[in-house]
Structure 1
Amino acid sequence: MPVQAIVFDLDGVLIDSEPVWEDVRRAYVAEHGGRWLPDTQDRLMGMSTLEWAAYIANDLVDGVTSEDVAYEVVDRMSQRYQDGLPLLPGAEAAVRRMAEYRPLGLSSSSPRALIDLVLGQLRVDGLFRATVSTEEVDRGKPAPDGYLTVAAQLDVPARTCVAIEDSANGLRSAHAAEMTVIAVPRPAHPPADDALALAAHIADDLDEITPELVEVIHR
């Protein structure tokens, strides 16, 4: 079946947000006398707001609720984005280029407030016909819930979509939804080899994301 939609991830694909998330969460944990474990950042990537807030409250910090964690961390992230959006090279051009080709969706582990803030600041919010936060579905990445929900909102079969992802859990999520996946790995947080193997194409940067590439890899 032909490609019917392109679905972007947000964090690590359009914005270099993982270092910001790590800084903000590390600071929160340190300020509350908690402990940051060696695998904490990798575990947090792809989790929904409810999942990562519960993990911090239950495993890293004593005496706080997951609601407290989520509210304060998301508020700090909003402030950081308002001070300056960590846009990745080629992000806006890639979105506009692919929007001329097929309808766009977005599946992100960021909370709704941050998704809307980022897309609004980029002035591309009107180009996305469907956006889903994993806080709005039952399970975060690597489960396929977010991607399946985007496809449903776009009213297209998930297998006719091409997803753009960077992280191991994101690649697993889109692949589990039966989407064709393009990986754009971030050097600071390279995906696991088994997850990267799920990608139909591994791109060096967003400039590679073109309608021509999508037509070649979606078989």
Structure 2
Amino acid sequence: MTTIEAVVFDLDGVIIDTEEVWEEVRRAYVAEHGREFLPDSQTRMMGMSTGEWSRHLSEDVGVPRRPEDVAADVLGRMAGRYREALPLIPGAVEAVRRLAARFPLALASSSARVLIDQVLETAGLRDAFRVTLSTEEVARGKPAPDVYLAAVDRLGLSPRVCAAVEDSSNGLRAAGAAGLAVVAVPHGVYPPAEDALALASLVVHDLSELTVEAVGKLR
């Protein structure tokens, strides 16, 4: 029988409630340049790497700035918002600490490295994770499996013995494609698509439900 030996967390939407902040900041930035989101821009960008979403805003939405400049502008604004107030999801720090006492943990996030480091430092969680990865550091962002495959590889394990904790459609698809056991924590404002949610072996609606016992039963 296979058992879970490690857990890989997403960041945005699982540990910090920032999807609305990302949307607000990027919409305002786009509007300042006389443009508007495309109908599917928000959904498409959830899970994209920094290079991918900045290219989308520059090339598809039409912001008259180079993708690297778009990224720098938006990340600077996001970092400022995090410095003002870190929107931790209730129970997130406790859930991470609870699982870290039993399993090696990794973080696989679509956020830029500068934001990952700032969040973990502010939340006091830097020591909880053995591995932290941004999709900036792999070839493709979510829903491609790259960041999950890299995370479990750095843990020295196979995907089969790892679990992922995710909220978004693209994140759930990435973890499922990588072969991890998937735990879904659906976001109330941005719920995952039904096909993505169907990939989850466990769905929790409150992080207090994310226990060592629940994770241990995934396989």
Q: For this structure pair, what is the TM-score category when the shorter chain's length is used for normalisation?
A: over 0.9
State the secondary structure of the residue aligned to 2:132. Answer: strand
Deviations 1:139-178 (A, max 9, x none): 0000000000000111111111010000000000001110
How far off its partner does 1:61 sit?
Answer: 2.5
| 1:145 equivalent in alignment to 2:146 | yes
Residue 110 of structure 1, CA deviation = 0.2
Partner of 2:44: 43
Whichever residue aligns with residue 127 of structure 1, its letter is A
For residues 77-116 of structure 1, the aligned pairs below 5 Å read 77-116=78-117
Structure 1 segments (4+ residues) deviating >2 Å: none
Alignment-derived partner of residue 67 in structure 1: 68
- Matched residue, 2:194: 193
The answer to whether the Cα contact below 8 Å between 1:11 and 1:17 also exists between their aligned partners in 2 is yes
| Paired residues of 2:30 and 2:63 also in contact (CA < 8 A) | no
Contact 2:181 2:200 in 1 (8 A): yes
What is the distance in 2 between the residues matched to 1:75 and 1:62? Answer: 17
Runs of 5+ consecutive residues of structure 1 not aligned to the other structure:
none
Superimposed CA distance per residue, residues 78-114 of structure 1 (whole angstroms, 9 cap, x where no aligned partner): 0000000011010000010000010000100000000
1:196 counterpart letter in structure 2: L
Return the TM-score normalized by structure 2: 0.98
How far is 1:121 from its partner?
0.4
Deviation at 1:40, TM superposition (A): 1.2
The one-letter code of the counterpart of 1:124 is L
Is 1:54 the counterpart of 2:55? The answer is yes
1:181 aligns with 182
How many matched pairs? Answer: 218
Query: In the TM superposition, what is the alpha-carbon distance from 1:20 to its structure 2 partner?
Result: 0.5
Q: Is the 1:50–1:135 contact (alpha carbons within 8 Å) kept by the matching residues of 2?
A: yes
**Pairing 1:126–2:127 present:** yes
Letter in 2 for 1:185: P
CA-based RMSD: 0.7
Is the CA contact 1:33–1:61 (under 8 Å) kept in the aligned structure 2?
no
Give unmatched runs, 5+ long, in structure 2: none
Distance 2:115 2:63 in 1: 26
Cα-to-partner distance string for 1:27-79 (whole Å, 9 max, x where unaligned): 10000111212211101100000000000000113421001100000000000
SS of the residue corresponding to residue 36 of structure 2 reads: coil
In 1, Cα distance between the equivalents of 2:105 and 2:206?
19
Determine helix, strand or coil for the equivalent of 2:130.
Answer: strand
Q: Percent same amino acid among aligned pairs? A: 55
Corresponding letter in the other structure for 1:159: R
Residue 37 of structure 1 aligns to a residue whose secondary structure is coil
How much does 1:17 deviate? 0.5
TM-score (norm 1): 0.98
Deviations 1:6-30 (A, max 9, x none): 1100000000010000011001000
